Amino acid sequence: MARPMPQTDRGEVLWVTPEFGPPVALRFVESASALLVVPTGSGGGWLAPVLEQGEVRIRLPSGASELRNVRLVTEPGELRDIVTLLAAKYGEDLTRNYFRDVTRALELSPGGGSGRGESHDDVVRQEFEAVAAVYDAQIERSYIHRILKGRSLARLHALFDGHDPLLELGSGTGRETIPLLQAGHRILAVDISPRMIDQLRQRAQAVGVGDRLRTQLGSLENLEEALADVASGSLHGAYSTFGAVNLEPSLTSLPAALGRVLGPGDRFFAGVLQRNAIVPSLYSFVLGRPRVAVGQFGNVLRPGASHVTLKVYPTDVANFSRLMRSHFDLEQWESASLLCPPDDLPRLWRFLGDPGLRRIVRIDERASGWPRLRRWSQWIFLTFRRR
C-alpha cells in the first residue's frame, strides 16, 4: 500500500482544499486539460467528501487557485497509465515507494461550479470497487478484523445450521460466504460493488462451491428492488455483518424487504457498529489523537474525524430494534468486541507487539460475554426473528 509522503519530500505539488478539513498536498501529473492525482492510502478521510461534492478547490504550484470538477478513476488500465506518467515525472524510485498497488486516482478537470457530486451509494460503490482486488489481502493483514470475522462466522454457523437458502447483505469478496457455502449452505449474496461480486464468484468457483451461490447487485437502501425476483418466503435466514447496515443513511425499507422474503420464525443476524462506543475513543485519546477520539461520538461518523474512510451511521440496540419492529422481534443481542483496538493505530500496535495483542484478544473474548459491559462495545451482534 502506498505510504504517506514525508513533509520533507513534497517536490512539486498542488494543494487540494476539501470543504471540511485542512488542505492536502498531492503530487500530480497532467493529461490533456485535466490534472491527475493519486491519494496515498485511503485518502486520509477527505476523499469521500470531495466525491460527494463533485468539485474541489485546488492551489497550483504557481499560486493560482481554481475550482475543479472531480472524477474518481478506478479502472486498472487508466491507473496504470497514471502511474506511468508519475514515474516519468518524479522517477521510478519515488513512484515505487509511494504509489505501489494504486487502487484509485482523481481526475481534476476544468469547469468547477456545477455542484454535481456523487450520490452516497455511488461513493460507497466506488470505494469498494477501488479496493476489490486487494481487499482480501487487507483483511489478512488485519489481525483484529480476522478475529471479529471469526466470531461472527461462529455465530452464523450455529444460528443457521439446517436453514437454507440464506441471504447475505454486503457480502464483499466472501469472507463469511465461502465458509458457509463450504458447510453446505445455499446463499444469495447481495453487494453494491460489481467487482466485489466478481471476486466472490471467482473464489466460490475456485473452491468448488459456485453452484450453491447466487449473486445480485444492490444496496440495502434499495433492497426490495434487488430482491424483486425472489419469491416471498423463499429464503430462511439473512445476515449482514461489520459495516453494510452502517453505511446507509436510511434503512426504512429494510424490514419490509427482509420480511417479505423470509418466512415466520426465520432469523436476521446483524453485526452493527454501535453509537458512542467508549473504548475506541479511549485508545485514540491516550495516543494523542483527540480529534479522532471525539469524532467517534454522534449519529454520523465523518471521514477524517474518526477511524473510518467513508461516512458511517452508527446505531444502537434500541434504535435498530425500533427500525425492525414492523416485521421482526429482537431475540438476542451480545457484544462482538469490547476491548479490541482499531486497526489504524500503529503506535499502539508497536507498543503492544504480538504477545500484547493476543493478550488483549483473550481478555476481550471474556469481557465481551459480560452482559453489563455490552452497551460499551463498539461492535454488537443482534439476532431478530421474523414474526
CATH number of the domain that residue 153 is part of: 3.40.50.150
Quote the cell numbers at residue 305. Answer: 474525524
Residue partners of 350: CB distance under 8 A and separation at least 6: none
Residue 322 falls within a domain, yes or no?
A: yes
Quote the cell numbers at residue 90. Answer: 518524479
Number of domains the chain contains: 2
Quote the cell numbers at residue 292. Answer: 479522532
Is there a single domain that holds both residue 163 and residue 83? no
Cα distances (Å, whole numbers) of residue 247 to 72, 127, 134, 244: 19, 12, 20, 5
Q: Which amino acid is at 166?
A: L
Last residue in a domain, options 83, 118, 153: 118
Strand order through the sheet with 34-37: 24-26, 14-17, 55-59, 65-73, 105-109, 34-37, 29-31
Is there a single domain that holds both residue 294 and residue 147? yes
Domain with 72 in it: what CATH number?
2.30.110.10
Three-state DSSP at 141 gives: helix
Residue 78 falls within a domain, yes or no?
A: yes
Is there a single domain that holds both residue 93 and residue 241? no
Last residue in a domain, options 87, 118, 149: 118
pLDDT tens, the chain, 387 aa long: 334 444 334 457 888 887 666 788 888 999 888 999 988 655 556 887 788 888 888 999 888 999 999 988 988 899 999 999 999 998 998 888 888 778 889 999 987 665 566 788 888 888 888 888 878 877 777 777 888 899 999 999 999 999 999 999 999 999 999 999 999 999 999 999 999 999 999 999 999 999 999 999 999 989 999 999 999 999 999 999 988 999 999 999 999 999 999 999 999 999 999 987 788 788 878 877 787 778 778 788 877 655 566 888 999 999 999 999 999 999 999 999 888 877 666 677 778 888 888 888 889 988 888 888 888 888 999 999 999
Whether a cis peptide bond, with omega within 30° of 0, leads into 18 is no
Residue partners of 367: CB distance under 8 A and separation at least 6: 335, 338, 339, 373
Three-state DSSP at 103 gives: coil
Helix (H) or strand (E) holding 82: helix 76-90
Cα distances (Å, whole numbers) of residue 243 to 39, 223, 248: 23, 16, 9
Residue partners of 255: CB distance under 8 A and separation at least 6: 323, 324, 325, 326, 327, 328
pTM of the model as a whole = 0.83
Residue 35 falls within a domain, yes or no?
A: yes
Residue 2 falls within a domain, yes or no?
A: no
Q: Domain range holding 207?
A: 135-386
Which residue bears the cell 469490547?
338
Is there a single domain that holds both residue 172 and residue 221? yes
Residue 125 falls within a domain, yes or no?
A: no
